Amino acid sequence: SSTLMLPKNREVELYMQSKDVIHSFFVPQFRLTQDIVPGITTKLVITPDKDGTYPVICHELCGLGHATMRTTAVVMEPAAFDKWLKSQSKAIGSPNPSVAGLTVFTDNGCAACHTLTAAKAKGTVGPDLDKLKQYAAQAHQPLQSFITTSIVNPNAYIQPGYPRNVMPQTFGKSLTKQQLDALVTYLVNSAK
């Protein structure tokens, strides 16, 4: 989930990793911040004590997409959290390719840099992914092949107006085959 769901008055351990640069997990109302350094798994223990929806932001200037690195934390009663968690477990047991692809898109920060209507992403640092069919046609490549190559080798097809070496060059190694396949399928199905 792109939203951090938390039970009220229960200790929660968050294990966080960065793939590329230093980030900083910050929830102003919780009065806590935690740096996340590449190559290190960072543990943060929190016990939220008030129901509500709270902003979560990156508190470290981490790159071009920094301003869009935002989500929310929802703190709920333990019974409601348990019900939500059970519903998520059922969803995980029978993965839907679209949900899996959206999860990979969201969890890997793609929305911070790219626009994609299907994901409600409005990033402007990288190319508009609503135009993937157009980009693939310009490159004279089948859509699926174009998308796969663009993820694992981001400098292979640079769109006019966008600089080289902005997108992390690590997704070919950091994504599993299943994650890459899910993301590519999601983007193919989302292309207009």
Q: Which CATH superfamily is domain 97-190 in?
A: Cytochrome c-like domain (1.10.760.10)
CA gap 112, 189 in Å, rounded: 20
DSSP string across 7-59:
ETTS-EEEEE--SSS-EEEEEGGGTEEEEE-TT--EEEEE---S-EEEEEEE-
Residues of each domain in the chain carrying CATH 1.10.760.10: 97-190
How high is the pLDDT of residue 91? 53
The tokens for 154 are: 């981001």
Enumerate the CATH 2.60.40.420 domain ranges in the chain, comma separated. Answer: 4-93
Q: What are the residues whose beta carbons fall under 8 Å from the beta carbon of 142, sequence distance 6 or more?
A: 136
Residue type, 150: S
Q: Whole-model pTM? A: 0.58
> Which tokens sit at 180?
């890459």
Q: Tens digit of pLDDT per residue, the chain (192 long)?
A: 578 999 999 999 999 988 888 999 999 999 989 999 988 899 999 999 999 999 999 999 888 888 888 899 999 999 999 998 888 766 555 566 678 899 899 888 898 899 999 999 998 899 999 999 999 999 999 999 999 999 999 999 999 999 999 898 889 888 999 999 999 999 999 987
Do residues 60 and 35 lie in contact, with contact meaning Cβ atoms separated by under 8 Å?
Answer: yes
CATH class of 4-93: mainly beta
